[in-house]
Amino acid sequence: MAARTTIRRAGAAAVTVLVAAGTAVGATAGHDAGRGGDQTASQQSGHRGDDRDRGRGGKDRARNVIMLQGDGMGLAARELIRLATEGKDGRLVMDSLDEAGWTATDSADPEDAVTDSAAGATAFSTGVRTFNGAVGVDADGNPVPTLLEDAKRAGKATGLVSTAQITDASPAAFGAHVTDRYDQSEIARQYLEESRPDVLLGGGEDFWLPAGEPGAWPDNPAEDPEEQSKGTEGNLVERAQELGYTYVSDAEGLADADGRRLLGLFANEEMFQQANEGEGDVYSPEVPLVDMAAKALDVVSRDRDGFFLFVEEEAIDEFAHRSNATRTIEAGQALDETVALALEFQEKHPDTLVLVVGDHATGGLAIENVDAEDESGEGATAEDGPFPVPGTDLEFSVDWTTGGHTGEATPITAQGPGAERLSGPQLNTDVHDAVQRAMLPRGHR
């Protein structure tokens, strides 16, 4: 992938300083597992109270919020992207924001110690921890209001953007309430008829159309013959159009679209082909993440009351599941380019809060010196590389310890009104609380 120009800002110290203190988060996080939905987990634990609001008046109010997530982007992944892209003395755009912290990633699952994306995103979106696989509900299965719904009630425009299916777990956690993340047609229905985001851009057309009714993306494509329409809620593309959404399915259509409500589905499933390296792996979205985000910003920024926009790069997680460091790096670079876009917007609109998060880590990756005698696995845990370090003659390899998720804390950086609440150690539910306090007056929370 071609090198990209990055925005350089004076800001938070390098995110790598979080490593030294990251182990402290686990002890803090243990207070709220298994809680219901009457209070946020952080309120129940006494963590991050209202003391940060005192004496601030309205100066930290965010008219707009841009929340960017690298799915599966733990600290090691973020450092991998940095080292491969910017070199030893370089810095990613996402590491240049004013405030830096880290979040515990635990869910309230009764069986698994490590979270999945559904529970991780639900903690961010609702301030409540839940069981793995659950979207927008508490540990008892009860619906919990989300940041997107809060913003909508406050009169703000809202949007969801992802290189996954737009009905996948992370975006769904902001706009739907189901106990099973894989009920994606129901998630799509809830988007249209209940939470009603103004912008929906991503993959996953298969879940919007009934079996046997292929749409703009044909059934059983050569790159993945198993992909085909499988919706269970009727023709939701037609339903969206009836409700006033402009529907687009390719880059040209997105560029030409001009409306206040926009649905774009740019793949049967995810907007990339996840596979082991050299086995059909492709990261080349029909519409790049930065272009989807730019269009979403164009639409939602027209609202005089502001907006809430969630933007996700899913491929970091999916390629880490496949121990594919090359594509993980490419996806991370795409996210960083999109963070640069968000900061350009924030520079022109300083009442915008921008934050970059990871819901969990994936792959248990380690950045190592190249050493032929140090190969420590095979298959999903084989080493990857070598990769050059830009500006040097050095190389490094990537060692993987698992094909699944891992439970370490993830880094967060933020800039704009209320960003100071996102610095230092915190629970994943604290992210919700900080964004909500910044975005909404006290009476609207």
Q: Vertex 128, ends 305 and 264: CA angle to 5°?
A: 50
**Side chain identity at 59, as an amino acid letter?**
K
Residue 439 near residue 308 (C-beta atoms within 8 A): yes
> From CA 29, how far away is CA 6, in angstroms rounded?
34
**Side chain identity at 185, as an amino acid letter?**
S
Residue 90 corresponds to which tokens in the numbers above? Answer: 């370089």
Residue 104 corresponds to which tokens in the numbers above? Answer: 């515990």
Residues in the chain: 445
> From CA 222, how far away is CA 231, in angstroms rounded?
21
> From CA 395, how far away is CA 218, in angstroms rounded?
42
* DSSP symbols for 213-235: ---SS-SS-TT-TT----BSSS-
Residue 2 corresponds to which tokens in the numbers above? Answer: 């071609």
Count other C-beta atoms under 10 Å from residue 89's C-beta: 8
Which position among 45, 96, 117, 323 bears the catalytic label? 117
Residue 309 corresponds to which tokens in the numbers above? Answer: 């926009």
Residue 195 is among the residues annotated as catalytic for this protein: no
Q: What distances in angstroms separate CA 222 from CA 175, 214, 225, 229, 273, one per listed residue?
A: 32, 15, 6, 15, 11
Residue 228 corresponds to which tokens in the numbers above? Answer: 């085909």
Q: Which residue reads 């800001």 in tokens?
A: 11
> From CA 378, how far away is CA 422, in angstroms rounded?
39
**Side chain identity at 350, as an amino acid letter?**
P
For 427-437, b/e burial (b = at least 16 CB within 10 A) is: bbbbbbbbbbb
Q: In sequence order, what are the beta bridge partners of 178?
A: 135
Measuring CA to CA, which residue among 135, 117, 114, 116 is closest to residue 126? Answer: 135
Strand 361-362 to strand 199-203: parallel, antiparallel, or no bridges (unpaired)? unpaired
User: Known catalytic residues?
Assistant: 117
